[in-house]
Amino acid sequence: MRRCLVFTAALLLATLPAAAQKLAATPPMGWNSWNWFAGKVTDADIRKAADLIVSSGMRDAGYVYVNIDDTWEGKRDASGNITSNEKFPDMKALTAYVHSKGLKIGIYSSPGPQTCARYEGSFGHEEQDAKTYADWGFDYLKYDLCSFGKNMREAHPNDPAAQNKMMRDAYVKMHNALVKTGRPIVFSLCQYGFDQSWQWAPEVGGNLWRTTGDIQANYESMMHIALAQAGLAKFAGPGHWNDPDMLEVGNGKLSHDENITHMTMWSMLAAPLIAGNNLTQMNDDVSSILTNKEVVAVNQDKLGHEGDRVWAGEETEIWARPLADGSVAYAILNVSQDRSVMRGMKLHLKEAGFPSGTAHARDLWAHKDLGVIKDTDVFTIPKHGAVMLKLSK
């Protein structure tokens, strides 16, 4: 049986190269093409996204990566070098344009022969592809397991341990290829949390790694993923982050309160904030949620300590996250399926690090100081909503 290695955040940080820690010292923030465009994304779409990230204020709020997802890939040339397809006629020109906006740019591939959309993967061409990405000027690589799962099963039928080792080795191979280029490139592992990715992903060079399956633009999917992160805080820190998948804020039929809960939890979890909404139709409400400076500051807190569950009941959950200035980010969630909750039971402030049962509170969504709150204070939380506070002694 494979020996499971359990790390503390401090030990993981000690094992990471200094360059990796600096490269993703706080969770990456940006935008990815897949949630809105899927396979229809083009060069023009990416340029327009870059323009809108700047004009909307998202860049100034910290969203600096503009990431191309699947379907950019063309065929390989006679020497085996990957080319882009007709939707992306000049990758160097595109990266130069995005960089000219004060932004960075990401690309996508797979360790398998094909990507999820059945375009050309990096199998057998890892060093070539890494060099190409660096030569083109990319700053971020999302590496999606996809067809490599078939390779794993065919190579080691009925042997999950050997399959998992093969998966880890594939990610090591691309990490080493990226390092060899000499260009700083954030390495995002998209492998859906297989084999408890949080336990091994830092060892293979991951700056972030998926902890679950794909998110969908609905409350049930978002909350299932969010609450599944309980207990994973010790595996994250500067240079290495648990990734509960991209933001769906502004997508589907998520309500205002559901978008608030989504952004609250991803910030509490020190999760990468990779938006995926239609920037051309972003309304003021969605923009204000994504760019709330006080909430983003929690996500980007330099201590890099992921939040965790403090208390859970039938209708509410409470999560807390220690911050670099000695304060605590504190989220009260309405997890009831059908009604608003009048939060009147204990706030569990002692479990959040306030032995007296009192704390000075600031409401980060209302941008309002609440003064001193007590364990017995009452908060009204709308259906599928959340309260996010910053607590200090």
Helix axes 148-155, 160-181, angle to 10 degrees: 130
Q: Would you tell me how many other CB atoms lie within 10 Å of the CB of residue 14?
A: 10
Task: Say whether 284 is catalytic.
Answer: no
CA pair distance 22, 12, nearest whole angstrom: 14
Beta-carbon-side half-sphere exposure of residue 107 (alpha carbons within 13 Å): 28
CA pair distance 231, 167, nearest whole angstrom: 24
Of 118, 114, 127, the residue nearest 80 (C-alpha): 127
CA pair distance 72, 200, nearest whole angstrom: 29
| Residue with the two structure tokens 């870059």 | 50
Task: Say whether 375 is catalytic.
Answer: no
Catalytic position from the list 45, 51, 135, 214: 214
Structure tokens at 205: 């060079």
Structure tokens at 97: 């344009």
Q: What separation, in Å, do the N-terminal and C-terminal C-alpha atoms of the chain show?
A: 47
Catalytic position from the list 43, 69, 70, 144: 144
Q: Which residues are catalytic?
A: 144, 214
